[in-house]
Chains A and B, each alone.
Chain A
């Protein structure tokens, strides 16, 4: 059921954004009763977008073999990576030639939808004000600015501190040659210990033979 979950999340977010965005009403009205099917190879299912009564409906039509496939004013079959590649209209023909993109129907529908999404502009302070009142909004925005200011400062501080620590710590860090000298010392002491051990052993043997 992940297509349904995906579609319902997109539908809720998109409609909320459209509702809050001042410039969307006009753009949406131009798309009234229009529909678009987008098949992205990475997703493995198609998404149908339909504009009905000022709302964007997002579904994932699934046709059985004995049913005609879902239709729309514009059907786009492509991949997410190709969508990223599209920066200008000139590229479209090139991508179509390379079989990376297939567009059936009215491309204006796709263009208008893309414009609608790109132009969503939400006046966040005004929206917050409706829910929590103007004083709280003012406080919240000042707080947010403060936090972001502090965060920026902290980030700068941490970066400069970090480089300082590195300089200081370098003095404390054991260098390679110091380490190898230490290891050499340990080896020497080990040899001396084993010589001593042998001497002690010889002396105890002597002592035993004398007492016998």
Chain B
């Protein structure tokens, strides 16, 4: 192998995407952190605005598909402001437990305040953690969810393996994430919306167009439905399936550890 080729291989091994930019892997975490520190306060409002409130239905679909039962141990990974945690906390009851984990302290703080205001305190724990290196024992959780979080993770394969490790046998992972619209026309309309309208909305409401430009770009760079399914299988998950929502703008992947 020539020196040039070797350099290229080395550099692609050490590089990753930050939206459409190619950056050093070691920088991604802090850049992503910058985005979420910056959007944390306005995150919930922007979510409602950007998705016309439909994100609430996507999240409900995730809860309904999770098969959660009273007494379950749930990890809401990259849980941010805690929408899923709130519902899970009610559904697992006092015998169950939900851990809201996020790499970002600003998002965790907003989440903690919001859930406390809702009176949800008894069965929720907050942990600052990186999805790639989960600080939990093997076989701990009945359910792990990661909603709109995986695309921000630097090494997705490592995160999937780490999730697999902490799941109990019989436990399941649910990945809710933007994906590839099934129809070309919808794809075009969605592209226009994401790159022309979304950043302007971000600029106007959250005074932060750049972060929303990153969000739009990161959505496009995220693996499509089939690729993510294969990645889950490679990490050891069995019976991996996915379900397209809103024409494939979002997909819910589900896989088991047996």
Contacts and interface: CB of A to CB of B under 8 A. Distances in A.
A59 B93 contact: no
B93 A33 contact: yes
B93 A3 contact: no
A1 B61 contact: yes
Contacts of B256: 66
Interface stretch (A50-58, A115-123, A171-179): A50-58
Interface in B31-69: 56-58, 60-61, 63-65, 67, 69
SS of B interface (majority): helix
Contact of A61 (B67, B93, B239, B246): B67
A67 interface: yes
B201 interface: no
Most chain A CB inside 10 Å of its own CB: which residue of B60, B87, B90: B60
Contact of B64 (A53, A61, A68): A61
Contacts of A57: 87, 90-91
Given A53-B90, A57-B91, A4 B64 contact: yes
Interface string A1-28: 1011101100000000000000000000
Nearest to B59: A4
A62 interface: yes
Interface residues of B, number: 20
Given A61-B64, A64-B67, A1 B90 contact: no
Contact of A53 (B58, B60, B119, B245): B119
A50 B87 CA distance: 12
SS of A interface (majority): loop
A67 to B, nearest CB: 4
Nearest to A3: B64
A60 interface: yes
B90 A4 contact: no
Contacts of A191: none
B178 to A, nearest CB: 15
A63 interface: yes
Contacts of B67: 61-64, 67-68, 70
Contacts of B119: 53
Interface of B: 56-58, 60-61, 63-65, 67, 69, 87, 90-91, 93, 119, 239, 245-246, 254, 256
5 contacts: A1-B246, A59-B60, A59-B91, A61-B64, A64-B239
